[in-house]
Amino acid sequence: MDRLPAAGGALSALGVCEIRERCAAGTVTALAVSESCLERVDAVEHLVEAWTFLDRELVRHQAAALDALPVRGLLHGVPVGVKDIIDTADMPTENGTVLHAGRRPQSDAVVVARLRAAGAVIFGKTVTTELATYAPGKTRNPHHPAHTPGGSSSGSAAAVAAGMVPAAIGTQTNGSVIRPAAFCGVVGYKPGFGLIPREGVLRQSPALDQVGVFARSVEDAALLAAVLCDGEAGEHLLSATSGSAQPRLAWMRTAAWPRAGADTRAAFEGFARRFNLAELEMPAAVAPAWDWQRTLMEAEIAENYADEWTRGREQLSASLQAQIERGLATAAEAVAAARAQIAVVNAAFDPLFGQVDAIVTPAVPGTAPPGLDSTGDPAFCTLWTFAGLPAITLPLLSGANGLPLGVQLVARCGNDAALIRAARWLFQATR
């Protein structure tokens, strides 16, 4: 197995907060940070293949322009990878499909515009699966290149895990932030539904699509998300990174528990004992949520990918063709009924979130599966994504094979700050 060389003391190994602080202090320049990240790309990209577009001169131009200005914004000088379903005016956005090859958006997505305004360097476009569904891209897991990095935000998670950038953004409609972050051993944070605007992001399932972030620490993930959020939510996230009080935590197996591997079951049962976590029962009313999510997602995929289906269905993967066919066959009444259940799931969890700040649960059934023909099982993310609850995965455990095993925390809708506080405390308590 080819192993990635260590980053050592290179600037590419710095986190988001540290880069911003050093740029503000004048001890490093944005160009020096970007050059270090480019050197890291040269050293490891042939093993990981996280990028679908990376223009080195464009990176240098952005960084040099920042160095000519006073330090501005919360992300001044920070290189950020952008999933290739998020529009960028100066780079292609091809959505992981040959049907969109050469596509050049005329404007940035709102989240990209906010990154630029905060002083970030838009480093390049990271690999996504086909139209952000299940057919894998070329990316490999940085911990073991023969294993999947997960999907659909595979390139974003892998680029951060491999040390090529300190942060990246992606999206989640089922498990596309939490799963690859867990497989690749980084922090993945999916804010509550609607907290980050989606204008300029590929429209897959509007009832479920959510933007998320990848970083190497909770503080870095919160800072990146704070820049992207609407309204006062960003300020609440930033304030949540400074608390130290122990949160109220409990754990839950959920209906996906039978899919967990032996490593996962043992690791989480031991984790619960270590932190003396009480176990919560999943509300019986939410048991059909996995079916509701699939019904809603596939019907909306069929609607939003109608053009691709009409003009190029033979160029779509078998898995996406099957999803669209099922979505087309779903009655409108069934879709409306599934959408109405989002409120039911949130109401069922409300009493539990009155007892705890966050629920601890597996992020994935196990470590990243071997092989590159699948992105792994998103079942441990489905319930929370369907309900639009904020979720974060932390690289706190590992399997018997040494690969990362993510610990997921979930909080009440609208309480992202409590989630960040709980995640920060738990991350520090295990270090």
Instruction: Tell me the CA distances in angstroms from 273 to 267, 277, 279, 353, 380, one per residue in order.
Output: 10, 6, 10, 21, 21
Q: Are 344 and 351 within 8 A, CB to CB?
A: no
Q: Annotated catalytic residue: which of 12, 36, 83, 190?
A: 83
Beta bridge partners of 172: 210
Is residue 403 classed as helix, strand or coil in its secondary structure?
coil
Question: What is the reported pLDDT for 5?
Answer: 84
- Reading the block at residue 315, the tokens are 């160029």
Question: What is the reported pLDDT for 244?
Answer: 79
Instruction: Tell me the CA distances in angstroms from 362 to 216, 248, 400, 407, one per residue in order.
Output: 19, 18, 16, 5
Q: At what angle do helices 416-429 and 233-240 cross, to 10 degrees?
A: 20
Q: Are strands 210-215 and 167-172 parallel, antiparallel or unpaired?
A: antiparallel
**What CATH number labels 11-240?**
3.90.1300.10
* Segments of the chain scoring below 50 in pLDDT: none
Is residue 121 classed as helix, strand or coil in its secondary structure?
strand
Read off the DSSP letter of residue 313: G
| DSSP result, 57-84 | HHHHHHHHHHHTS---STTTT-EEEEET
Q: Among this protein's residues, is 152 annotated catalytic?
A: yes
Half-sphere exposure of 282 (CA within 13 A, CB side): 18
* Burial environment of residue 352 by CB neighbours within 10 A (0 to 12, 13 to 18, 19 or more): middle
The residue to which tokens 């590419």 are assigned: 12
Question: What is the reported pLDDT for 9?
Answer: 79
Q: Among this protein's residues, is 176 annotated catalytic?
A: yes
Question: What is the reported pLDDT for 2?
Answer: 66
Beta bridge partners of 398: 404
Question: What is the reported pLDDT for 243?
Answer: 77
Q: Annotated catalytic residue: which of 153, 156, 176, 205?
A: 176
Within 10 Å of residue 300's Cβ, how many Cβ atoms? 22
- Domain residue ranges of the chain, discontinuous segments joined by +: 11-240
Q: Annotated catalytic residue: which of 12, 152, 154, 217?
A: 152
pLDDT tens, 125-163? 999 999 999 999 999 999 999 999 999 999 999 999 999
Helix ranges restricted to H, 80-139 = 110-117
Question: What is the reported pLDDT for 200?
Answer: 98
Residue partners of 401: CB distance under 8 A and separation at least 6: 367
Q: Among this protein's residues, is 12 annotated catalytic?
A: no
